[in-house]
Amino acid sequence: MSDPADFSRPADDLPGEPTSPWLATTPDASYPPLEADLTVDVCVVGAGIAGLSTAIELRDRGASVVVLERDHVAAGTTGKSTAKVTSQHGLQYDQLHREFGSKAARQYATVNEAAIDTIEERIASLEIDCGFERQPSYLYGNEPDALRREADAAQRAGLPASLVRSVPPFERAQGAVKFDDQAWFHPRRYLLALAEWLHEDDDAAIYERTRVTAVDPGTRPRVRTPSGTVSANHVVLATGFPLLDRAGYFTRLYPKRSYVLAVRLGVDPPEGMYYRAGDNYRSVRTHRDAQGALLLVGGENHKTGQGGPTRERYQRLLEWATDRFPIEGVEYRWSTQDYVSVDGLPFVGRAGPGARNVSIATGFGGWGMTGGTAAGELLAESITGTDPPVLELFDPLRFTPKPSLPKTLTENADAASQFVTDWVQALVAPDLAGISRGEGRVIRQGASPIAAARDGDGDLHTVSAVCPHTACLVDWNDAECTWDCPCHGSRFTPDGRLLEGPATEDLSPVDPDR
Ligand code: FES
């Protein structure tokens, strides 16, 4: 196999090491790949916070469990999170109150607050050194009425919420909604310890570098990989986009990317963590390390594969941070991908018709630390006993309330129009010469769209531009040097190797001289 393409030099002008502090400061675990057929009670796909939380809860209830991970434990979305452990999820409670009712808002608040406690208890009982700290969380903005409504809805949902003025210290704002007793931590240290604890049990096992290629639902579902099949009574898909779509998730779930810089400050960081609501959100929290404190500044989100050059997003984030903080240097930069449902609630529960014994956990919208932890407990309870009443709120087959319906239709139309537009553009585009180093373009070769990218040595890499999931065309991500699919968020290296699903295959190789 040839060496992977080197796209590091074209990205050199971006600041910081291209990884999260969580991934930079922890080694990968070394669980083996699956190499035999297995039979267990429950097979969990995905070793992020939702998958491992589910596996632990199942094991605690006496089920035998196996976890299959395409990459490494907590190397995906969880390892790239800003790792705020909070019930404050943007302007969530006012919307929940209006669209789903006060009971739903209370239920949502209760499961997320319980998830913070669960994480804290696990850390204490296993003595995990992961920087868990209780901190206040502030949602700030310049729309006083919206903030007042949010504070009011959160209080009625039973949360420790109050409306405060004079925050944040680094930006002008009309006020903020403060939640007391929220938390932050180092997510990978937490999950590596949970994985170790799980793997020690005779009735549990983790397999890394194991790509799931198909899930056969049925009375006794099977999970297929290139090197073994797992038969189980139940399967949990704790991946971004469900590998099995029996309920039209492609119309109700969309991928979004967001960006984070970890900057070293010349002064003490502000206390607490912050979130500026709105389309162009900003997120701020501190992470303490051996050198002092890093400030994590996040934002600039957009739909995957759409929204223009991604390098500019890092640059805008840096400008924003530089205008507000005395920055000594940027230590890390990274981006991540989350899935968002059209009505703003996660999908946790049975996957759909004909898949009674397959469950999913996704759509946390960037709030997976509490959402994934809560999903683990709810799914384990449901699989080994009876459905907790709150599961109805997260039912993947739930009726979408009217206010969200236009968004469902828009998402649907958006994916469809992206599909058509990209194909038309590719098929009318002439062959393009002069792709520069670090650049990628979809060009035409005969009647076929191919994805061509030039690496730091000047070599051209060409693969099919057709995503193997459902045939949308991939788009070049110039900050990460990846091919990203705008329809459901699959991502690939410049050589076409699959980085994240729902696709289960690589992009097909193409000979540029054909
Ligand atoms: Fe669905 Fe690419 S991820 S078509």
State the DSSP code for 434. Answer: -
In this structure, are 41 and 72 located in the same domain? yes
Tell whether 230 and 355 lie within a shared domain: yes
Atom of ligand 1 nearest to the CA of 485: 2
Nearest alpha-carbon partner for 177 in 203, 141, 211, 221: 141
**Residue with CA at minimum distance from ligand 1 atom 3:** 488
- Both 280 and 212 in one domain: the answer is no
Can you give the CATH number for the domain in which 150 is found? 3.30.9.10
pLDDT tens, residue by residue, 433-458: 678 888 899 988 777 899 999 888 88
Task: State both tokens at 232.
Answer: 């189980």
Q: 435 and 496 in one domain?
A: yes
Quote the ligand 1 centre to 485 CA distance (angstroms).
Answer: 6
> Three-state SS for 39?
strand
* Residue 381 is assigned to a structural domain of this protein: yes
Q: Is the pLDDT of residue 2 over 50?
A: no
Calculate how far, in angstroms, residue 250's C-alpha sits from the geometric centre of ligand 1: 9
Establish if 471 belongs to a structural domain: yes
Structure tokens at 284: 């701020």
Residues 331 and 446 placed together within one structural domain of the fold: no
- Our measurement of the distance from residue 503's CA atom to the centroid of its chain's CA atoms, rounded to an integer in Å, reads 16
Q: Ligand 1, atom 4: nearest CA belongs to which residue?
A: 470
What is the sign, positive or negative, of the torsion defined by CA atoms of 88, 157, 345, 198?
A: positive
The average pLDDT across 344-364 equals 94
User: Are residue 259 and residue 179 in the same domain, yes or no?
Assistant: yes
Distance in Å, CA 419 to ligand 1 centroid: 10
Write out the two tokens for 389.
């009443």
**10-15 CB contacts, 8 Å cutoff, 24+ apart:** 10/437, 10/438, 10/439, 10/455, 10/456, 10/481, 11/311, 11/438, 11/479, 11/481, 14/311, 14/314, 14/315, 14/333, 14/479, 15/261, 15/314, 15/318, 15/329, 15/330, 15/333
Q: What is the pLDDT of residue 261?
A: 97
4 pLDDT above the threshold of 60: no
Task: Indicate whether 224 belongs to any domain.
Answer: yes
Please tell me the distance from the alpha carbon of residue 9 to that of residue 328, in angstroms, as a whole number. Answer: 23
User: Predicted confidence band at 255 (pLDDT cuts at 50, 70, 90)?
Assistant: very high
Ligand 1 centre from 256 Cα, in Å?
13
Look at the chain and report how many structural domains it folds into: 3
* Assigned token pair, 98: 């209006």
Query: Is 482 in contact with 494 (CB distance < 8 Å)?
Result: yes
Q: Can you tell me which atom of ligand 1 is nearest the CA of 489?
A: 3
Q: What CATH number is attached to the domain comprising 424?
A: 2.102.10.10
Q: Do 483 and 426 share a structural domain?
A: yes
**Cβ distance 285 to 148 under 8 Å?**
no
Query: What is the structure's pLDDT at 421?
Result: 58
Average pLDDT taken over every residue of the chain: 90
Do the beta carbons of residue 171 and residue 187 sit within 8 Å? no
Residue 432 has pLDDT above 70, yes or no: no
Mutate to test the pocket of ligand 1, among 306, 490, 498 (most ligand atoms within 8 A of CB): 490
Work out the average pLDDT over 166-175.
86
Is 462 inside any structural domain?
Answer: yes
Instruction: Compute the average pLDDT of residues 201-211.
Output: 94
Q: Of all atoms in ligand 1, which is nearest to the CA of residue 419?
A: 4
Question: Does residue 514 belong to any structural domain of this protein?
Answer: no
Which is the closest atom of ligand 1 to the Cα of 501?
3
- For residue 467, the ligand 1 atom closest to its alpha carbon is 2
Domain of residue 430 covers 412-500
- Stretch 309-338: mean pLDDT: 94
Q: What's the pLDDT at 167?
A: 78
Mutation pick for ligand 1 pocket among 249, 417, 488, 491 (CB with most ligand atoms within 8 Å): 488
Q: Which of 5-19, 122-136, 307-321 is least confident?
A: 5-19
**What does the pLDDT average to over 161-190?**
93
Ligand 1 binding pocket (C-beta < 6 A) is 467, 469-470, 472, 485, 487-490, 502-503
The Cα–Cα gap between 187 and 130 comes to 7
Distance, CA of 20 to CA of 248 (rounded, Å): 33
Q: Which of 341, 369, 388 is the last residue of a domain?
A: 341
Instruction: Tell whether the model's pLDDT for residue 512 goes beyond 80.
Output: no
Q: Are residues 225 and 356 in the same domain?
A: yes
CATH for 378: 3.50.50.60
Q: Is residue 378 part of a domain?
A: yes
How much distance in Å is there from the Cα of 255 to the middle of ligand 1? Answer: 10
288 vs 266, which has greater pLDDT?
288
Q: pLDDT over 90 for what percent of the chain?
A: 73
Last residue of a domain, one of 341, 358, 380: 341
**Above pLDDT 70, what percent of the chain?**
90
Q: Same domain, yes or no, for 213 and 194?
A: yes
Q: Do residues 150 and 267 share a domain? A: yes
- Among 292, 324, 341, which residue terminates a domain? 341
Of the listed ranges 226-230, 258-262, 406-410, 432-436, the one predicted with least confidence: 406-410
Is the confidence at residue 192, as pLDDT, over 70? yes
In a domain, 109, yes or no: no
C-alpha of residue 62 to centroid of ligand 1, in Å: 37
61 domain residue, yes or no:
yes
If asked whether residues 239 and 361 sit together in one domain, one would say yes
Based on the fold, state whether residues 349 and 490 are members of the same structural domain: no
For 370-432, give the DSSP string.
HHHHHHHHHHHHHHHS---GGGGGG-TTPPPPGGGHHHHHHHHHHHHHHHHHHHHHHHHSPP-
Q: Tens of pLDDT along 363-398? A: 999 999 999 999 999 999 999 999 999 999 999 998
pLDDT given at position 180? 98
pLDDT for 278: 79
